[in-house]
Amino acid sequence: MLRTFSVFALCLLLHFNMEAQQRWSLKECVEYAMNNNLLVQQSALAGQGVRVTLIQNKAALLPSVNGSASQNINFGRSVDPYTYQFTNQQISNTQLSLSGNVVLFDGFQLMNTVKQSKLDYQAGKHDLEKVVNDISLSVASSYLQVLFSKEQLKAAKLRIESIEKQRDVIKKQVLAGVLAEGSLMDLEAQVASEELQQINASNSVKQSLLTLVQIMNLDSADNFDIEDPNLELADQSIVGFTAYQIYENALRAMPEVKAAEIRSQSAGTALSIARGGYSPRLTAFGSVSSGYSSGAKRLAGTPQFTGFAPNGQITSAFDTVLSPSFKTVFEETPFNTQVNENLNKGIGLSLQIPIFNAWSTHSNISRAKINMARTKVDLQNTKQQIFKTIQQAHLDAKSAQLKYAAAQKAYSAALLSSGYSEKKFNAGMGTSLEYLTAKNNATRAQSDLLQAKFDLIFRIKVLEFYNGQKLTL
Residue type, 383: K
> β-pairing, 91-105 with 297-299?
unpaired
Mean pLDDT by 10 residues, the chain (473 residues): 40 42 84 91 93 94 93 77 71 89 93 95 94 92 89 84 76 71 76 87 92 89 84 80 93 93 96 94 94 77 71 69 72 84 92 90 94 96 95 94 92 87 75 75 85 88 89 73
Instruction: Give dist(CA 85, CA 165) in Å, integer.
Output: 120
pLDDT at 232: 73
- Do 307 and 140 contact (CB within 8 A), yes or no? no
Which element (helix H / strand E) includes 184? helix 181-216
Residue pLDDT, tens place only, 67-78: 999 988 877 777
Convert the pLDDT of each residue in 428-461 to its tens digit. 677 767 777 787 788 888 888 888 888 898 889 8
**385 to 27, 100, 307, 392, 400: CA distances (angstroms):** 28, 52, 108, 11, 22
* Spatial separation of the C-alpha atoms in residues 24 and 47, rounded to whole Å: 30
CA distance 372 to 463: 32
Q: Where are the domains of the chain?
A: 70-105+280-296+333-353, 303-332
pTM: 0.77
Please check whether residue 455 is in contact with residue 403, taking contact to mean a CB–CB distance below 8 angstroms: yes
